[in-house]
Chain A
Amino acid sequence: EAGVTQFPSHSVIEKGQTVTLRCDPISGHDNLYWYRRVMGKEIKFLLHFVKESKQDESGMPNNRFLAERTGGTYSTLKVQPAELEDSGVYFCASSQDLRQGIQETQYFGPGTRLLVL
């Protein structure tokens, strides 16, 4: 079974440009999460989709970040315009259905390393 995939693996852009990251979850996983690790800090939650709906976007840093999951399959995370502090590693994770009282394992993709110059 294929794991979570992310594209691109690396991106170097200039401040003010736009970048779009893509995540393909494990087939059949309804839950898709975006996380980010900036240098020297812990991995932090950005948002959570259940199928095509945003369940929790409390971690999104500001309105320069836009996440979509049309059709409930792959997801995109767009940063527009990018700022220097957006540099970091962006991870996507997916899990199966959430069941009452059970925390399903989240499987992470390899991440996209974003550098904003």
Chain B
Amino acid sequence: RKEVEQDPGPFNVPEGATVAFNCTYSNSASQSFFWYRQDCRKEPKLLMSVYSSGNEDGRFTAQLNRASQYISLLIRDSKLSDSATYLCVVTGTLYNQGGKLIFGQGTELSVKP
């Protein structure tokens, strides 16, 4: 079983749609959680951190459910520029594990006019 599993893609949505990505992780002791965005043939870039209380950044909302080991990302009013691959990422369990990132395979989003 993979450490981080994401919805298979691709997601093809029209502009203005709301789209939700889901992710589960296998290690219950994982400490930190993120969504990264990766454009085609580019490097991953941090989109947002994910907290148990939930957090919002403009059109983006991230949620973490530790009991279910589940992470979500909601994008409202999607734009053409949101087209990218969204990567669910968790970190090691202890401070002294050095913060290596564990990636899901990514979910591709394509927003159409």
Residues of A within 8 A of B106 (CB): 42
Chain B residues close to A by CB (< 8 Å): 2, 4, 31-32, 42-46, 49, 87, 91, 95, 97-106
Residues A110 and B43 in contact, CB atoms below 8 Å apart: yes
> Out of A33, A42, A91, A111, which one reaches B100, CB within 8 Å?
A33
| Stretch from A61-69, A79-87, A98-106 forming part of the interface with B | A98-106
Q: A42-B106, A109-B43, A110-B43 are in contact. Are A48 and B2 (CB under 8 A)?
A: no
Residues A108 and B43 in contact, CB atoms below 8 Å apart: yes
A55 at the interface (CB under 8 A from B): yes
Smallest Cβ-Cβ distance to B95: which chain A residue: A100
Chain A residues close to B by CB (< 8 Å): 31, 33, 35, 41-45, 48, 50, 55-56, 59, 91, 93, 95, 98, 100-101, 103-106, 108-111
> Out of B4, B45, B49, B91, which one reaches A42, CB within 8 Å?
B4
Minimum CB–CB distance for A34 against chain B, Å: 10
> Out of A35, A45, A101, which one reaches B95, CB within 8 Å?
A101
Smallest Cβ-Cβ distance to A100: which chain B residue: B95
Residues B44 and A43 in contact, CB atoms below 8 Å apart: yes
Residues A105 and B100 in contact, CB atoms below 8 Å apart: no
Smallest Cβ-Cβ distance to A37: which chain B residue: B103
Residues B97 and A42 in contact, CB atoms below 8 Å apart: no
Can you name 17 extra interface pairs (CB under 8 A) apart from A55-B98, A103-B32? A31-B98, A33-B101, A35-B103, A42-B104, A42-B106, A45-B100, A45-B102, A48-B99, A56-B100, A91-B43, A93-B101, A98-B95, A103-B31, A103-B49, A103-B91, A106-B101, A111-B43
Minimum CB–CB distance for B76 against chain A, Å: 24
